[in-house]
Each structure stands twice: as structure tokens, then as C-alpha cells.
Amino acid sequence: MIKRKHNDVFLELEKAQKLCGIVAELVLFILIVGIFLIPPPEIPRLQILGIFAFVLIFTVVYYNLPRLYLNPRLALLPDFVYLTGSAFAVMGLGKYGSFLLIYLYLLIMIDAYIFNLRQLLIVTVVSIILLNVVSFFSWRGSGGVPFIILIQTYSLIAIATVSRIFASFSLSMRDQKLQLENLNKKIIADKKESLDLIDSLGDGIISCDKDGKIFLHNKSAIELLDTKDLSGRYLTDVFSLYDEDRIAIDLYKIFDEKSPKLIRSDLFFKKKNNWYRFYIHLNPVYQGREMITLIILFRDITREKMLEERSTEFVAVASHEMRTPLAQIEGYLFLALKQLEGVEPNIIENVKCAHNSAVHLINLTNDILTVYNIDGKRINVALKKVNFGVVISTIIKSFETKAKEKHIEVSFKNKISKDEAIVTDESKIVQILTNLIQNAVKFTDKGWVRVTLSEDPRNLIVDVSDSGIGIESSARSHIFEKFYRMENWETRKTQGTGLGLYIVKNLTERLGGKVECVLNKKIGTTFRVHFPKEYKNEEDIKKASEEELKNFIGSF
């Protein structure tokens, strides 16, 4: 496109030059013939003939070599030659109103016409009239011809030169203007193309400057935000987001230079009194340290989130609803076992298997529910003073029967003061330690399980060690992951969900502690759990004291 337009300019230039050339040749031809036919009285003939010959040769050479006449830089050259040549001729002939003066006038007017320089045309016409009037009177007075001819000639040369410069300048300007116009058209087309692309996106896009003023948006943004127009409005007016607790969020304050890109899927937008969950992708553009633009990409994920929540909720409700029938199955099998005692040893064995499976199923349901609560961050903590010595003793007692069955020794060593208690959640502690001791008993076929309670200045430390099968170092980094089981699924000997240690880890961390698998040199496995002596989670403490206050008031 641009190239073709560019050529048009050159064509126009070429046309102009050609026309000038033809006129020049024609006029020169007439002049030469004229001089030879009617020789003026005092003419240095040879001199003028020399000039004409030079101009003629130049014209023929110039207009027959496209390399010359198509070069814009040389556009002024022929005019210079003709003007100078004409000027010499005029002075040499010393005659006013000669062909040469007319030729000069013609040259200027043709220029002005071709290059559409109307102002120049007017100036030229006016100056020609003025010059002629002045020279007519001056000539009459002085009686001398050459001086006034000289003035006229030089003035005309000056006007012609200026007109030529203007013409050439205007041509290059026009060329540049055309180029710019084309470029602009292309930019507009490109911009429209990308805007169309942005518009066709299902996600909303908003670009704002550093003050939050919107300068770019797409159709989806308007639809998602349920508004008419966005450009020029402020982000805070049209796009106010809230967190789960319905507290307004300032998008400009939730990211910093260290984390340039930010993705949030936990924010809400209010539209016609309904809350919509939005996925937000914030992309700030920095110039140096200062943020100049904030690009926001967003989409409505209300439906997806609802489906996701529904499916997890289904798992929770299903496992919850399974509890009552499971309890009955387990209970009746337990009852059957009691009633069968002393009779039919074969049947007892069968019922025992069924009872074990029922217990396993119950544990599975409970684990799934706990994991559901952990993953949904729904673990509530009920704080009170907990005596670890007492808790551990009770748990160990509940494993006595199992330990006796497997002929392993389960012992507890308390290295701290018997009365020492720390503030934490007792039921969670029980759940954590039961899980660990249960695992130890499960994976130990002979030998012992030892539980040790010790302390350092900041923590209570519980070690659960066993002389069991141990954990390979390759498995060590995975054991706290959800659904990880050390054994092969098909060849496993022990029952388990692969959720136990995941629960242990998450509950311990919820209470501000940590759990680790300590490397045992010789035999078995040791799990070490740290519980902070000083409970740190402010929110839990606040809630606990509120609860206490409520109970206190309630007791009156």
C-alpha cells in the first residue's frame, strides 16, 4: 500500500519535470531560431550561443536519464541551469519584454500551477505586474535599459528559485504526509484488529492508569460488571471487590513490587444484590519503580465454585450420613461376637473379619471428613489447658488389647513435670497422637512402641518410636502427602487410607506445632511432634476468651 502511494508521488514529480523540460526545450528552440533570424545590433553572438548549447545539451541528457530526473535531490538542478542561462541571455540581449523574460515568467507560473501553490501563483502574478509597471516608468525616465532589466531578471530568478524550493519542499511534505496517513491507517486497522480480539474474549479486561482511571476495556468487562460504559471512569466506582467477610478490597494495595503478577479467586463482586465470585488476574506494568498501568483480567467463576463446593459438600454429607448405618453394622457385629463367645469358633472368626472391616470403614469415613474439614480450612480449635502426660497415658491404654494380640510392648516415658499443662486443643492432640501410635502399632510385628514426652524451652516434644519395618529414605519426603501409602496398593498387608499422616501434619500445624520423621539408624521409625508451650494463633485465643465470657455470663 505504502509503496504504491510512494510511487504515485514520484510519478507526479516525473510528470512535472518532463513538462518543464518540454517547455524549456521548446522555448530554447524558438529563441535560437529567433536569434539567428533577427540578429540584434550589439550582441556577443558566440557567448549566447555557447550558453544555449550548454542548456540544450543539459536538457537532452537530464531528461533522458531516469536516474537523474527521478532523483528528488536533483530536482532543482535543471531549474537552476535554465534560470541562470536565461538570466545571462536576458542581460546579454539587454531587451525588455524579450522571449527570455516571458520564458522566466512562464517557468514560475507553471511551477506554481503544477505544485498547486496558489499563494505563490498570486504572489508571482502580482509581482510581475508590479515589476512591469515600475520598470515601464523607470525606463522612460532614465533612458537606460540594462539596469532595470537587471533588477527584473534578478527578482524573477529569486522568485523562481523560492518557488522551486517551495515546490520541492511541498512535494516531500506531501510524500511524508501520505506515508504518515498510511501508517496511521495501518495503526488504526491494527488497533481495531486487537480491540476486536480483546472484545471477543469471554474474560473481562480493564486497563487503568496509576490513579485507577480506566482507559481500556472490552465488551465482556461491561457485561460482567453490568454497566454501560467504562472508559474514563474510576476503578473504585465500577469495580468494587469484597473478600469472604464482605470487606472491601483495594486492588491497588494487594500486590507489591516483589510479586508483580497476582491471581486471586477468592474475591466477590456485587451485582443486582447478588454476590458473584470472580477470578482476578492483576498484571501491573512498571516503569522503573513506579507502576504506570494496571491490567486486570477477570471472569465470573460463581458457577464453577458452586459446583466444586457442591461436590466436596456431597462427600462430606455422604460420609456424614454413612455414620449411623455404619455404627449399627459395627455395633451388631460386636454384639454378635459377644453372643457367639464360646460357641462356633469358625463363625466367630468370620464375624471378626466383618467387624474389622466395619471398623476400617468407619475410620475411613472419619478420615475423609477430617480431610474435608482440613482442606476447607474448617478446623475449629477449642482451647483449654491440656496435660499431655494424662492424655498420652489414656491413649496408650486404649491400645493395650491390640498390643497384647500382636505381642508387642507399648511403653510411655514422661520426662517432664507431671502437672505441666499447656494451652491447646485436647481433642486434636488426641487425634494426632492416636494416629501416630496407631501407625506405630500397625507397622510393628515384633518388639516395641515407645512414646516419650520431653521439652525444650519453647515446646513440648512427643517422640513416637517403634521397632517396626521403618521407612525408606526415598519415601520419607512423601509420607505426609495426601493418599500416600508406602506399600504397593495390591500387595499391602496393612489397612489404611493414606490420610493419617496428612491429618497429623495438618492438625499439628493448625495448632502451631510441627511434625517430622526422625532418621533412625538401626531400626524402625521415630516421629517427633513439637507443640508450642505458648499458643500463638491470636484469632483462636480471642475466640476462646469470648466463649469463656459467654459461659461465664450464662452461668448466672
Which parts of this chain interact with another protein (CB under 8 A)? 320-324, 326-328, 330-332, 334-335, 338-339, 359, 362, 365-366, 369, 380-382, 427, 547, 551, 554
**In which residue are the cell numbers 528528488 written?**
72
Provide the residue count of the chain.
556
Cβ nearer to another protein, comparing 47 with 398: 398
Cβ nearer to another protein, comparing 39 with 554: 554
Cα gap 485→287, rounded to integer Å: 50
Q: What SS3 state is found at 295? A: strand
C-alpha count within 13 angstroms, C-beta hemisphere, residue 330: 14
What is the closest distance, in whole angstroms, from the C-beta atom of residue 543 to another protein in the complex? 10
C-alpha cell at 50: 555557447
The continuous run of DSSP H or E covering 138 comes out as helix 118-142
Cβ nearer to another protein, comparing 142 with 427: 427
Cβ nearer to another protein, comparing 27 with 392: 392
Instruction: Identify whether the C-beta of residue 19 lies closer than 8 Å to the C-beta of residue 13.
Output: no
What is the closest distance, in whole angstroms, from the C-beta atom of residue 198 to another protein in the complex? 48
Q: Specify the amino acid at residue 58.
A: F
Instruction: Identify whether the C-beta of residue 298 lies closer than 8 Å to the C-beta of residue 278.
Output: yes
Which residues touch 68 (CB under 8 Å, ≥6 apart)?
Answer: 61, 62, 74, 77
What is the closest distance, in whole angstroms, from the C-beta atom of residue 359 to another protein in the complex? 6
Instruction: Identify whether the C-beta of residue 444 lies closer than 8 Å to the C-beta of residue 406.
Output: yes
Cβ nearer to another protein, comparing 58 with 332: 332
What is the closest distance, in whole angstroms, from the C-beta atom of residue 350 to another protein in the complex? 18
Cα gap 17→11, rounded to integer Å: 10
Instruction: Round to the nearest angstrom and report the end-to-end CA distance of the chain.
Output: 92
Cα gap 468→409, rounded to integer Å: 12
What is the closest distance, in whole angstroms, from the C-beta atom of residue 431 to another protein in the complex? 10
Instruction: Identify whether the C-beta of residue 170 lies closer than 8 Å to the C-beta of residue 114.
Output: no
Cα gap 222→206, rounded to integer Å: 10
Cβ nearer to another protein, comparing 352 with 476: 352
What is the closest distance, in whole angstroms, from the C-beta atom of residue 258 to another protein in the complex? 38
What is the closest distance, in whole angstroms, from the C-beta atom of residue 385 to another protein in the complex? 15
What is the closest distance, in whole angstroms, from the C-beta atom of residue 381 to another protein in the complex? 8
Cβ nearer to another protein, comparing 324 with 417: 324
Beta strand pairing call for 408-414 and 447-455: parallel
Instruction: Identify whether the C-beta of residue 453 lies closer than 8 Å to the C-beta of residue 392.
Output: yes
What is the closest distance, in whole angstroms, from the C-beta atom of residue 531 to another protein in the complex? 19
Cα gap 476→522, rounded to integer Å: 16
Cβ nearer to another protein, comparing 177 with 320: 320
Dihedral of alpha carbons 547, 530, 443, 414, sign: negative
Cβ nearer to another protein, comparing 200 with 312: 312
Strands of the sheet with 447-455, listed across from one edge: 408-414, 447-455, 459-466, 525-532, 514-518
Cβ nearer to another protein, comparing 256 with 344: 344
What is the closest distance, in whole angstroms, from the C-beta atom of residue 349 to another protein in the complex? 18
Closest C-alpha to 351, from 371, 368, 335:
335
